[in-house]
Protein backbone atom coordinates (compact mmCIF):
# COMPACT_ATOMS: atom_id res chain seq x y z
CA UNK A 1 0.00 0.00 0.00
CA UNK A 2 1.25 3.49 -0.84
CA UNK A 3 2.63 5.67 1.93
CA UNK A 4 0.09 8.52 2.03
CA UNK A 5 0.52 12.04 3.45
CA UNK A 6 -2.39 14.49 3.27
CA UNK A 7 -1.81 18.22 3.67
CA UNK A 8 -5.08 19.53 5.00
CA UNK A 9 -6.81 22.15 7.09
CA UNK A 10 -9.57 20.91 9.38
CA UNK A 11 -12.40 23.09 8.11
CA UNK A 12 -11.37 23.50 4.47
CA UNK A 13 -13.76 21.68 2.19
CA UNK A 14 -11.39 20.63 -0.63
CA UNK A 15 -9.21 18.49 1.68
CA UNK A 16 -12.40 17.27 3.41
CA UNK A 17 -13.40 15.77 0.03
CA UNK A 18 -10.14 13.85 -0.12
CA UNK A 19 -10.43 12.70 3.49
CA UNK A 20 -13.83 11.23 2.68
CA UNK A 21 -12.36 9.37 -0.30
CA UNK A 22 -9.44 8.02 1.74
CA UNK A 23 -11.77 6.91 4.53
CA UNK A 24 -14.22 5.28 2.09
CA UNK A 25 -11.30 3.30 0.66
CA UNK A 26 -10.20 2.35 4.16
CA UNK A 27 -6.73 3.83 3.59
CA UNK A 28 -4.55 4.98 6.48
CA UNK A 29 -2.79 8.30 5.92
CA UNK A 30 -0.59 10.74 7.76
CA UNK A 31 -2.08 14.18 8.38
CA UNK A 32 -0.03 17.36 7.94
CA UNK A 33 -1.92 20.48 9.03
CA UNK A 34 -1.61 23.65 6.98
CA UNK A 35 -3.06 26.58 8.90
CA UNK A 36 -4.91 28.75 6.38
CA UNK A 37 -5.49 31.47 8.95
CA UNK A 38 -1.71 31.86 9.30
CA UNK A 39 -1.30 31.74 5.50
CA UNK A 40 0.90 28.65 5.74
CA UNK A 41 -0.50 27.62 2.34
CA UNK A 42 1.19 30.64 0.78
CA UNK A 43 4.60 30.18 2.39
CA UNK A 44 7.58 27.90 1.98
CA UNK A 45 7.91 24.99 2.36
CA UNK A 46 4.27 24.14 1.60
CA UNK A 47 3.79 26.25 -1.50
CA UNK A 48 7.11 25.34 -3.05
CA UNK A 49 7.08 21.64 -2.26
CA UNK A 50 3.41 20.61 -2.16
CA UNK A 51 1.08 22.97 -4.00
CA UNK A 52 2.26 25.73 -6.33
CA UNK A 53 -1.25 27.23 -6.24
CA UNK A 54 -0.89 27.76 -2.48
CA UNK A 55 -4.05 25.76 -1.82
CA UNK A 56 -4.89 22.67 0.20
CA UNK A 57 -5.10 19.75 -0.28
CA UNK A 58 -2.08 17.96 -1.56
CA UNK A 59 -1.65 14.23 -1.27
CA UNK A 60 1.82 12.75 -1.33
CA UNK A 61 1.81 9.11 -2.36
CA UNK A 62 5.15 7.31 -2.22
CA UNK A 63 6.91 10.65 -2.65
CA UNK A 64 4.78 11.78 -5.60
CA UNK A 65 2.83 14.97 -4.89
CA UNK A 66 -0.72 15.20 -6.23
CA UNK A 67 -2.96 18.28 -6.16
CA UNK A 68 -6.56 19.21 -7.02
CA UNK A 69 -9.07 17.31 -4.91
CA UNK A 70 -11.11 15.81 -7.76
CA UNK A 71 -7.95 14.66 -9.57
CA UNK A 72 -6.72 13.12 -6.31
CA UNK A 73 -10.04 11.33 -5.80
CA UNK A 74 -9.98 9.95 -9.35
CA UNK A 75 -6.38 8.79 -8.81
CA UNK A 76 -7.46 7.10 -5.58
CA UNK A 77 -10.28 5.36 -7.39
CA UNK A 78 -8.00 4.12 -10.15
CA UNK A 79 -5.31 2.87 -7.78
CA UNK A 80 -7.69 1.49 -5.13
CA UNK A 81 -10.80 0.45 -7.08
CA UNK A 82 -12.81 -0.92 -4.14
CA UNK A 83 -15.28 0.38 -3.18
CA UNK A 84 -15.72 2.37 -6.41
CA UNK A 85 -16.32 6.13 -6.29
CA UNK A 86 -17.71 6.15 -9.83
CA UNK A 87 -20.56 4.07 -11.26
CA UNK A 88 -20.21 1.52 -14.06
CA UNK A 89 -21.56 3.19 -17.18
CA UNK A 90 -20.13 6.22 -19.01
CA UNK A 91 -23.48 8.02 -18.73
CA UNK A 92 -23.69 7.47 -14.99
CA UNK A 93 -20.06 8.51 -14.49
CA UNK A 94 -20.77 11.73 -16.39
CA UNK A 95 -23.72 12.48 -14.09
CA UNK A 96 -21.68 11.84 -10.94
CA UNK A 97 -18.79 13.97 -12.24
CA UNK A 98 -21.26 16.74 -13.15
CA UNK A 99 -22.61 16.73 -9.58
CA UNK A 100 -19.09 16.91 -8.14
CA UNK A 101 -18.09 19.67 -10.55
CA UNK A 102 -21.11 21.82 -9.70
CA UNK A 103 -19.64 21.96 -6.20
CA UNK A 104 -15.93 22.00 -7.00
CA UNK A 105 -15.96 24.23 -10.09
CA UNK A 106 -19.04 26.42 -9.76
CA UNK A 107 -19.78 26.86 -6.04
CA UNK A 108 -16.64 26.51 -3.98
CA UNK A 109 -14.21 28.71 -5.97
CA UNK A 110 -16.50 31.70 -5.44
CA UNK A 111 -16.46 31.25 -1.66
CA UNK A 112 -12.83 30.32 -1.22
CA UNK A 113 -10.70 32.18 1.29
CA UNK A 114 -8.61 34.01 -1.32
CA UNK A 115 -11.79 35.24 -3.04
CA UNK A 116 -13.23 36.41 0.28
CA UNK A 117 -9.94 38.21 0.99
CA UNK A 118 -10.14 39.87 -2.44
CA UNK A 119 -13.71 40.98 -1.71
CA UNK A 120 -12.50 42.43 1.59
CA UNK A 121 -9.85 44.42 -0.31
CA UNK A 122 -12.72 45.87 -2.37
CA UNK A 123 -14.46 47.01 0.80
CA UNK A 124 -16.74 44.07 1.62
CA UNK A 125 -15.62 43.15 5.13
CA UNK A 126 -14.57 39.59 5.82
CA UNK A 127 -17.44 37.80 7.55
CA UNK A 128 -19.72 40.81 6.99
CA UNK A 129 -23.24 40.76 5.54
CA UNK A 130 -22.04 41.40 1.95
CA UNK A 131 -19.81 38.37 2.06
CA UNK A 132 -22.53 36.27 3.67
CA UNK A 133 -24.96 37.23 0.90
CA UNK A 134 -22.30 36.54 -1.74
CA UNK A 135 -21.63 33.04 -0.37
CA UNK A 136 -25.32 32.25 0.02
CA UNK A 137 -26.05 33.35 -3.53
CA UNK A 138 -23.61 30.96 -5.22
CA UNK A 139 -24.26 28.06 -2.88
CA UNK A 140 -28.00 28.44 -3.37
CA UNK A 141 -27.56 28.62 -7.16
CA UNK A 142 -25.54 25.42 -7.18
CA UNK A 143 -27.80 23.58 -4.76
CA UNK A 144 -30.83 24.60 -6.84
CA UNK A 145 -29.28 22.77 -9.80
CA UNK A 146 -28.16 19.81 -7.71
CA UNK A 147 -31.46 19.22 -5.89
CA UNK A 148 -33.41 17.77 -8.88
CA UNK A 149 -30.37 15.77 -10.02
CA UNK A 150 -30.05 14.13 -6.60
CA UNK A 151 -33.83 13.68 -6.32
CA UNK A 152 -33.76 11.83 -9.65
CA UNK A 153 -30.61 9.74 -9.25
CA UNK A 154 -30.11 9.42 -5.50
CA UNK A 155 -31.15 6.36 -3.55
CA UNK A 156 -29.79 7.42 -0.18
CA UNK A 157 -26.58 8.95 -1.50
CA UNK A 158 -26.32 11.58 -4.25
CA UNK A 159 -26.21 8.94 -6.98
CA UNK A 160 -27.51 5.49 -6.12
CA UNK A 161 -27.29 3.79 -2.75
CA UNK A 162 -23.53 3.91 -2.18
CA UNK A 163 -21.20 6.90 -1.79
CA UNK A 164 -19.60 8.33 -4.93
CA UNK A 165 -17.38 11.21 -5.95
CA UNK A 166 -20.54 13.34 -5.86
CA UNK A 167 -20.94 12.76 -2.11
CA UNK A 168 -17.24 13.47 -1.52
CA UNK A 169 -17.86 16.96 -2.94
CA UNK A 170 -21.40 17.55 -1.73
CA UNK A 171 -21.12 16.68 1.96
CA UNK A 172 -18.32 19.18 2.72
CA UNK A 173 -20.19 21.88 0.79
CA UNK A 174 -23.39 21.26 2.77
CA UNK A 175 -21.36 21.34 6.00
CA UNK A 176 -19.77 24.68 5.16
CA UNK A 177 -23.06 26.20 3.96
CA UNK A 178 -24.11 26.88 7.53
CA UNK A 179 -21.27 29.47 7.70
CA UNK A 180 -23.21 31.40 5.06
CA UNK A 181 -26.60 30.78 6.71
CA UNK A 182 -27.92 28.89 3.68
CA UNK A 183 -31.54 27.79 4.11
CA UNK A 184 -31.60 24.04 3.37
CA UNK A 185 -35.43 24.01 3.39
CA UNK A 186 -35.68 24.11 -0.43
CA UNK A 187 -33.19 21.25 -0.72
CA UNK A 188 -34.75 18.18 0.94
CA UNK A 189 -32.95 15.66 -1.29
CA UNK A 190 -29.56 17.20 -0.45
CA UNK A 191 -30.42 17.34 3.25
CA UNK A 192 -31.43 13.66 3.17
CA UNK A 193 -28.05 12.73 1.69
CA UNK A 194 -26.31 14.71 4.44
CA UNK A 195 -28.34 12.86 7.08
CA UNK A 196 -27.47 9.51 5.52
CA UNK A 197 -23.76 10.39 5.33
CA UNK A 198 -23.77 11.47 8.98
CA UNK A 199 -24.39 7.81 9.91
CA UNK A 200 -21.59 6.47 7.71
CA UNK A 201 -18.28 5.72 9.48
CA UNK A 202 -16.09 7.05 6.64
CA UNK A 203 -17.92 10.39 6.57
CA UNK A 204 -17.74 10.52 10.36
CA UNK A 205 -13.97 9.94 10.38
CA UNK A 206 -13.44 12.60 7.70
CA UNK A 207 -15.56 15.23 9.48
CA UNK A 208 -13.82 18.53 10.43
CA UNK A 209 -14.64 18.00 14.10
CA UNK A 210 -12.52 14.83 14.10
CA UNK A 211 -9.34 16.37 12.65
CA UNK A 212 -6.21 16.80 14.78
CA UNK A 213 -5.79 20.49 13.89
CA UNK A 214 -9.29 21.50 14.99
CA UNK A 215 -8.66 24.04 17.76
CA UNK A 216 -9.85 23.11 21.23
CA UNK A 217 -13.13 24.91 22.01
N1 LIG B 1 -9.77 23.28 -6.93
C2 LIG B 1 -8.96 23.09 -5.77
C3 LIG B 1 -9.38 24.07 -4.71
C4 LIG B 1 -8.46 24.07 -3.52
C5 LIG B 1 -8.82 25.19 -2.58
O6 LIG B 1 -9.34 26.23 -2.99
N7 LIG B 1 -8.52 25.00 -1.28
C8 LIG B 1 -8.84 26.01 -0.31
C9 LIG B 1 -9.39 25.40 0.95
S10 LIG B 1 -10.93 24.59 0.68
C11 LIG B 1 -7.59 26.79 0.06
O12 LIG B 1 -6.52 26.22 0.17
N13 LIG B 1 -7.72 28.10 0.26
C14 LIG B 1 -6.63 28.91 0.67
C15 LIG B 1 -6.71 30.32 0.15
O16 LIG B 1 -7.69 30.66 -0.51
O17 LIG B 1 -5.77 31.06 0.42
C18 LIG B 1 -9.12 21.64 -5.26
O19 LIG B 1 -10.21 21.09 -5.47
O20 LIG B 1 -8.18 21.08 -4.69
Given a contact cutoff of 8 angstroms between Cβ atoms, the answer to whether 180 and 132 are in contact is: yes
pLDDT tier at 217 (50, 70, 90 boundaries)?
confident
Does residue 120 carry a pLDDT above 90?
A: yes
pLDDT of 114 reads: 96
Find out whether the beta carbon of 13 lies less than 6 Å from any atom of ligand 1. yes
Residue 2 is predicted with a pLDDT of: 67
Q: Please give the pLDDT value at position 135.
A: 97
Q: What's the rounded mean pLDDT across residues 156-178?
A: 98
pLDDT tens, position by position, 59-93:
999 999 999 999 999 999 999 999 999 999 999 99
> 1 pLDDT exceeds 60?
no
Ligand 1 atom closest to 113 (CA): 16
Q: How many A from CA of 199 to the centre of ligand 1?
A: 27
Under the banding of pLDDT at 50, 70 and 90, the label for residue 55 is: very high
Our answer on whether the CB atom of 114 is closer than 6 Å to any ligand 1 atom is yes
Q: Is the minimum distance from the CB of 58 to ligand 1 under 6 angstroms?
A: no
Instruction: Kindly report the average pLDDT of the chain as a whole number.
Output: 97
Q: In angstroms, what is the span from residue 52 Cα to ligand 1's centroid?
A: 12
Checking if the pLDDT of 109 tops 80, the result is: yes
Convert the pLDDT of each residue in 140-153 to its tens digit.
Answer: 999 999 999 999 99
Q: What is the pLDDT of residue 182?
A: 98
Record: fold of 90-203:
Glutathione S-transferase Yfyf (Class Pi); Chain A, domain 2 (1.20.1050)
Single out the residue of 131, 217, 146 nearest to residue 187, CA to CA.
146
64 with 78: CB under 8 angstroms?
no
To test the pocket of ligand 1, the residue of 14, 17, 102, 105 to mutate (highest count of ligand atoms within 8 Å of its CB) is 14
- The pLDDT, as a whole number, for residue 8 is 98
Q: Tell how far the Cα of 89 is from the centroid of ligand 1, in angstroms.
A: 30
**Does the Cβ of 8 fall within 6 Å of ligand 1?**
no
Give span(s): CATH 3.40.30.10, the chain: 7-83
CATH classification number, 7-83, choose in 3.40.30.10, 3.30.565.10, 3.40.50.300, 3.30.70.960: 3.40.30.10
Helix (H, G, I), strand (E, B) or coil at 201: helix
Distance 9 CA to ligand 1 centre (A): 10
Average the pLDDT over 134-162 and give the result: 98
Percent of the chain clearing pLDDT 90 (strictly above):
98
List every span in the chain annotated with CATH 1.20.1050.10. Answer: 90-203
pLDDT above 70 covers what percent of the chain? 99
Cα-Cα-Cα-Cα dihedral sign, residues 34, 191, 96, 23? positive
Report whether 58 contacts 67 (CB < 8 A). Answer: yes
Mean pLDDT on 183-191: 98
What separation in Å is there between the alpha carbon of 69 and the centre of ligand 1? 9
Amino acid sequence: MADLLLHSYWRATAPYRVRIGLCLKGLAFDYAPVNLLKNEQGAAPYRDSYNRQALVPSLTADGQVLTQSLAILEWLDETHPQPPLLPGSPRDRAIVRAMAEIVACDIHPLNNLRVLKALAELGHAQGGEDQQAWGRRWITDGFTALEPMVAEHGRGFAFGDTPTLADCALIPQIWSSSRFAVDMGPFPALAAVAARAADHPAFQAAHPDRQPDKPAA
